[in-house]
Structure 1
Amino acid sequence: MFSKFLDPKNDVAFKKIFGTEKNKDILIHFLNDMITFKDHGQIQEVTFLKTNQDPVTAAKKTSIVDILCKDEKGNTYIVEMQVA
């Protein structure tokens, strides 16, 4: 049976909720609620970056993250959903 609600613990649902331009404001609120900023104010804007990170050397593996974004000050955030 299908639910009308998305389970944010599901990888596809998590990316749909937090990782789209349409829902960017949800990600900004989430980051501001989760991170305590001491030196500067809260995040006002984010830019989504490529989630596949190619290795610097051939001996290393490509890493893939759920959401990779950068704020207006140049700080980079990796946002991952982990279920224990």
Structure 2
Amino acid sequence: MPSERAADAPRWAPSVIGVLEILGAVGVILPALIHVAPGLVPVAATGLALVMAGAVALHLRRREYPALAPSGILLVLAVVVAWGRFGPYGF
């Protein structure tokens, strides 16, 4: 049963968003950790940044200001990783 905050979203949306967040986190960490396809790290970070940007927009629209901090921090971290890996001096 979805939470009351997710009541106005489609029934499948919270589950899909959760799966996307988990896949994004795994995609940012795992390729670099096991040195297999490290080029996927910035792609996963970009996707995770898009999901987090949507979360920030949703929390702003609903005026859920306390929930902005975790989403905003994850957004900034994902953007830094994507920029750092796509940039001319990728780490």
Q: TM-score range by the shorter chain?
A: under 0.3
Greater helix proportion: 2
- What TM-score do you get using the length of structure 2 for normalisation? 0.24
